[in-house]
């Protein structure tokens, strides 16, 4: 499910690089200070499992990350197309922004696309179940959950007040392709990938 695409900042049409190799994706992201890892749950997770079951299924990797990165709390975010607030939630993350803390997310169901804006490039990371991404504090980025939105992720926080974002005011996100979960699934199937 994970794909990485690198664009030059001023050319959103012709990607410079695209890969579905997790090791290559992790290496590219490490260059810009972004952590990317593939994690396994301790036990299988049923579709639509509640937050308690999600945290229980990933208890070992979550405990390891909390200890290693000093995260004070975790929560579970789930967005489905049936939620009346889905469109508003999608809009909230679509503008380029930064955070005062690292943004660490572990996807456990569905998919979503992070766009990380470096000095001269935009790196799109489509994350699916088992993908951990950590965007460093201060790094401009945006997130597209796609239409229809469908994902569940564990969020890690160091601040007691949870999710706080600072908009950069840069309209760059509007120039980049929106995330289309259906076409992503179709291209995976065509390529014979799970
Ligand atoms: C994948 S969790 C929701 C997205 C989010 O918290 C964020 O800040 C995106 O940039
Ligand atoms: Fe963010
Ligand atoms: Ni995919």
List the chain domain ranges: 3-179
Task: Provide the pLDDT for residue 185.
Answer: 56
List beta partners, residue 78.
152
pLDDT tens figures, 87-144: 999 999 999 999 999 999 999 999 999 999 999 999 999 999 999 999 999 999 999 9
Q: Ligand 1 pocket, 141 CB below 6 A?
A: yes
Is 126 strand, coil or helix?
A: strand
Distance of CA 162 to the CA centre of its chain: 17
Q: Ligand 1 pocket, 92 CB below 6 A?
A: no
CA distances from 21 to 2, 3, 27, 38, 115 (A): 8, 7, 10, 11, 18
Backbone angles phi, psi at 24, to 5 degrees: -70, -40
Is 142 strand, coil or helix?
A: strand
Question: Per-residue confidence at 181, pLDDT binned at 50, 70, 90?
Answer: confident
Closest by Cα among 149, 74, 144 to 105: 74
Mean pLDDT value across residues 21-44: 96
Task: Provide the pLDDT for residue 162.
Answer: 78
- Ligand nearest the Cα of residue 190 is 3
Q: Could you give the CA distance from residue 133 to residue 4 in angstroms, rounded to a whole number?
A: 12
Q: What is the best residue among 155, 176, 179 to mutate for testing ligand 1's pocket, by most ligand atoms within 8 Å of CB? A: 155
Residue 61 near residue 106, CB atoms below 8 Å: yes
Q: Ligand 1 pocket, 179 CB below 6 A?
A: no
Residue 69: how many other CB atoms lie within 10 Å: 14
Note the pTM of the prediction, 2 decimals: 0.92
CA distances from 79 to 44, 88, 104, 191 (A): 20, 11, 17, 27
Question: Per-residue confidence at 191, pLDDT binned at 50, 70, 90?
Answer: very low
Q: Domain 3-179's class?
A: mainly beta
Q: Ligand 1 pocket, 155 CB below 6 A?
A: yes
Residue 133 near residue 34, CB atoms below 8 Å: yes
Cα(34) to centroid(ligand 3), Å: 19
Is 106 strand, coil or helix?
A: strand
- Structure ipTM: 0.92
Task: Provide the pLDDT for residue 189.
Answer: 52
């Amino acid at each position: 499910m994970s794909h990485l695409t690198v664009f030059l900042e001023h050319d959103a049409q012709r990607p410079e690089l695209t890969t579905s190799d997790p090791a290559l994706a992790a290496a590219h992201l490490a260059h810009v200070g972004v952590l990317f890892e593939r994690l396994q749950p301790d036990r299988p997770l049923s579709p639509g499992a509640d937050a308690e079951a999600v945290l229980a299924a990933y208890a070992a990797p979550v405990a390891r990350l909390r200890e290693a990165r000093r995260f004070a709390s975790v929560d579970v975010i789930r967005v489905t197309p049936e939620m009346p607030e889905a469109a508003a939630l999608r809009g909230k993350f679509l503008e380029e922004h930064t955070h005062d803390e690292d943004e660490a997310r572990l996807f456990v169901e569905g998919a979503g696309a992070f766009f990380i804006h470096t000095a001269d490039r935009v790196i799109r990371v489509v994350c699916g179940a088992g993908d951990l991404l950590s965007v460093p504090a201060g790094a401009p980025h945006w997130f597209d959950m796609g239409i229809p939105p469908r994902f569940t992720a564990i969020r890690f926080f160091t601040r007691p007040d949870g999710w706080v974002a600072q908009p950069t005011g840069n309209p760059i996100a509007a120039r980049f392709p929106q995330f289309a979960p259906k076409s992503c699934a179709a291209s995976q199937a065509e390529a014979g990938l799970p």
